[in-house]
Structure 1
Amino acid sequence: MSGTGSILDRFSVVDHVAIVTGAGRGIGAATAVALAEAGADVVISARTPDQLELVAGRIRALGRRALVVPADLSELDAVAGLASAAQDEFGRIDIVVNNVGGTFPRAFLETDTGFLEESFRFNVATAHALTRAAVPHMLASLDGRQKSVTSISSMMGRSAGRGFVAYGTAKAALAHWSRLAATDLAPSIRVNGVFVGSVLTSALEFVAGVPEMKAELEGKTPLGRIGEAEDIAAAVLYLASPAGAFVTGKLLEVDGGIQVPNLELGLRDLTGP
């Protein structure tokens, strides 16, 4: 990576092939477009074809190719199948972004083992299934282009908050999975993640219509605002591109500076009769 070129050249992923899950909207859509702006062709997948086609249109308007794969990515065979779809269409895989995931908050006594297992499957097993399927294709095309995996975790994976025992546990597992996978896949493939804070995506749409809740989120965030999907997309581009060539096994905190949850869910203390 030494040379006299512009530092901005290190953020280029021209002619790389990326897979982005959960790419119909929010962080996934912003990430897919950001990678295309930096020169990548992108495989995008989510449940809703109409949303994916809108994202694909933005990618193609940038002069890059987009492969739309509508799928229920909670199904492990479906998410793993994205690797072969990328290989068949583009002949290589360079970047994997494990963005699909999420779990609604739930009180402790309402969090049964089935809900916990479902959260782990949707947030961790999906990332493992896709990455495991993609790795052989990535190794088959080691030609000097960066190979990277980036997974979207959450600040709840490093902090504690009432109501997040399933979601926080799964996101903590995803973060540590990234560290362990980085060790297994070095030096050929870098693996990193992002601890995401409050970002105004569909999961927080209800906040925008409740001024008091929006003010609470902003007031408890040191930088004084809710994050944007592009804030996360920029971090993913750094980690996935040659700009992050000396980074692996790390979790980048993109959360506005928060150390504890910035929205009170109003769950009561558990006490005796």
Structure 2
Amino acid sequence: MILDLFRLDGKTAIVTGAGRGLGAATAIGFAEAGADVVISARTADDLESVADAIRKAGRRAVVVPADLSKAEPNLLVDAAMGELGRLDILVNNVGGAFPKPLMDTRGKDLDRAFNFNVTVAHEILVAAVPEILKNDDGGSIINITSAVGRLPGRGFGMYGTAKAALAHYTRLAALDLNPRIRVNAIAPGSILTSALEVVAADDTMRGAIEDQTPLQRLGKPEEVAAAALFLASDAGAYLTGKVLEVDGGLLAPNFELPLPDL
């Protein structure tokens, strides 16, 4: 049965930024497909809610509250090996940066954005690879980038630059880790998470975004989670070094800050 290719039975995954939104949906989706999951985010209460959903799916959940921009890189890998005994999948979902006009952006802002979106992902990957290589069939690493990493938009200079770097890092890492470990990325567009709550609550703003999206709607976290499941499972076994654009068909930005010309 082709659906068997999407199963993750006997696998263990780490999902960062898993307290809500894309990370939570991905962690729960992996559990529903048969995986045990180590989940991490800054807010312990959010993680416990996700852990409950994982356990209701019949799988084990390990909760690791942490600010990964400051934590030891091997924190999550040690939790996976110590509590679950193996590691097959890593989803580098944690990241972000507040929009800011380009001329107000300083070098320290870029440093923080790059560290949080690229350096943290790299350090966790480096910690994870030796454990993933212990598996006969290797494993899968998935980086969450953004449509803004390829589509220009005012106000997203530091965030878009960092996400573009993560997308190319994915291609480079895939070559270094071939053939035992596959490395891919997902570039979401406008997904209905807490980050878009303010926009979604404003009918005018939401309508403008939807009108500029070819599929005429916002995405759902579960749609990004489904793409992650594809890449993590045997269904995506012939993909590496690729970036899946889960963005409703965007060919141009569908949301820009109302910043004036200089």
Count of residue correspondences: 262
SS in 2 for 1:43: strand
Residues of 2 paired with 1:53 and 1:129: CA distance? 25
1:100 counterpart residue number: 94
2:202 to 187, 207, 210: 210
2:35 matched to 1:40?
yes
Partner of 2:226: 234
Task: Verify the 8 A CA contact 1:76 1:129 in the aligned structure 2.
Answer: no
Provide the rounded CA distance (Å) in 1 between the counterparts of 2:252 and 2:69. Answer: 29
Distance in 2, Cα, partners of 1:137 & 1:179: 21
Superposed counterparts of 1:63-142, under 5 Å: 63-77=58-72, 79-140=73-134, 142=135
Report the 3-state secondary structure (helix = DSSP H, G, I; strand = E; otherwise coil) of the residue aligned with 2:141.
strand
Structure 2: 5+ residue stretches without partners? none
- Helix, strand or coil: the match of 2:99? coil
Alignment check: 8 A CA contact 1:108 1:165 kept:
yes
Per-residue CA distance 1:190-231 (angstroms, 9 max, x = gap): 000011100111111101221110101111100010011001
Letter matched to residue 203 of structure 1: A
Percent identical among aligned pairs is: 58
Equivalent residue, structure 1, for 2:136:
143
Residue ranges of structure 1 left out of the alignment (5+ in a row): 1-5
Does residue 12 of structure 2 align to residue 17 of structure 1?
A: yes
Partner Cα distance (2:103, 2:170) in 1: 30
Counterpart CA distance in 2 for 1:80 and 1:221 is: 39
| CA-based RMSD | 0.9
For residues 217 and 265 of structure 1, what CA distance do their matches in structure 2 show?
12
Contact 2:15 2:91 in 1 (8 A): yes
- AA at the equivalent of 2:204: E
- Whether the aligned pair in 2 keeps the contact of 1:76 and 1:125 (CA below 8 Å) is no
Could you list the per-position Cα deviations for residues 133-191 of structure 1 after superposition, in whole angstroms to 9, with x for gaps in the alignment? 00011112x223x5000010001111111111100000000000100000000100000
What does residue 53 of structure 2 align with? 58
Q: Please name the residue that 2:211 is paired with.
A: 219
Runs of 4+ in 1 over 3 A off after TM superposition: none
TM-score norm. by structure 1 comes to 0.94
- After TM superposition, the score normalised by the length of structure 2 is 0.98
CA contact (8 A) 2:154 2:259 kept: yes
What residue identity is the alignment partner of 1:66? A
